[in-house]
Amino acid sequence: MRVCCDNMKITIHKNEIELTGLIDFDLEKTFECGQCFRWNVDEHGAYIGVAFGRVVKVRQCGNSVFICCNEKEYYSVWHNYFDLSRDYSLIRKHLSIDDFMKKAIEHGKGIRLLCQDTWETLCSFIISQNNNIPRIKSIINTLCREFGDEIVYGGQSYYTFPSADTIAGLNAAELSPLRCGYRAEYILRSAKAIVEEALNLDELESYTPDKTRTALKTLYGVGDKVADCVMLFGLHMLDAFPVDVWMKRAVDKNYGIGFDPKIFSPYAGIAQQYIFHYMRNITS
């Protein structure tokens, strides 16, 4: 057993990694808060997802989270993916700056910010534009089934997210099974820009936030909201603050004109997730 930050203890079992003492990891809130689209709950309440070319099952039982993988895979993929070196209890204290945020944080306690693949995040949030979550997930599932690599897990077929190289070699007609409308052109042109090195996604991690946003917005069909989602979810720039209709409504109502997300710095992105989750749930 190993003790990590936030009092988390890691126990290595034969086919699972058990995490205990982690109060800030609610699977449903983390996977259903709008930051990702490739996780689905099974009939037993466990979540199965695909990330970085791997399939994994994650389940929650009492005070423990179980990740179905071996020790090597846990430390090479999932520890970082689930941001498990970060103490979210300290972040919650930092962000509790007023009554509204205290309510949003209490409602969203357990959300962790996933460290997702940058290309997948870019493509996924291009698809998300003017779309609802069930349809986004359907389009992404079709994209992966048509153009990704098959992985058999638990007797079921899952599919990796297709690379930019794969997508760049397609045309609009080949993307027609996705039924994603005008977004198909955005996906194709973004993939080609990356393959032709008009934009190097790996280099973005070394840029300032402003430079990163400007670089992402050179891609056809990418505006502020998609760029900020890529920065937050794909590059883990924790001060990025994506604004959609839910967020605009929330900040207008609670902070008024002239709101500056820097009041939450350096964790504006995590504040955004608490606010987004809270507003979606209290008004649904």
Domain end residue (candidates: 181, 199, 222): 222
- Would residue 280 count as lying in a domain? no
Q: Is the pLDDT of residue 4 over 70?
A: no
245-259 pLDDT, tens digit per residue, is 889 989 999 999 889
Confidence class for position 5, pLDDT limits 50, 70, 90: low
Per-residue pLDDT, 283: 65
Q: Is the pLDDT of residue 91 over 70?
A: yes
- Would residue 76 count as lying in a domain? yes
Distances (CA, A) of 65 to 1, 109, 211: 14, 15, 38
225-253 b/e (C-beta count within 10 Å ≥ 16 → b)? bbbbbbbbbbbbbbbbbbbbebbeebbee
What average pLDDT does the structure give for the chain?
94
E strand residue ranges, the chain: 2-3, 9-12, 17-20, 39-41, 47-51, 54-61, 64-67, 150-153, 156-159
Confidence class for position 1, pLDDT limits 50, 70, 90: very low
- Would residue 189 count as lying in a domain? yes
Confidence class for position 215, pLDDT limits 50, 70, 90: very high
Per-residue pLDDT, 148: 98
Q: Is the pLDDT of residue 195 over 80?
A: yes
Whether 154 and 50 have beta carbons less than 8 Å apart is answered as no
DSSP letter at 75 equals I
The two counts, helices (H) then strands (E), for the chain are 13, 9
Domain end residue (candidates: 168, 195, 222): 222
The domain in which residue 62 lies consists of 2-85
Domain end residue (candidates: 168, 190, 222): 222
Question: Is there a single domain that holds both residue 158 and residue 81?
Answer: no
CATH number for the domain including 163?
1.10.340.30
CATH number for the domain including 72?
3.30.310.260
Q: Is the pLDDT of residue 3 over 60?
A: no
* Total number of domains in the chain: 2
60-81 pLDDT, tens digit per residue, is 998 899 999 999 999 999 999 9
Q: Is the pLDDT of residue 175 over 50?
A: yes
Task: Work out the average pLDDT over 93-117.
Answer: 97
Stated pTM of the model:
0.94
Q: How far apart are CA 29 and CA 108, in angstroms?
A: 7
Confidence class for position 2, pLDDT limits 50, 70, 90: very low
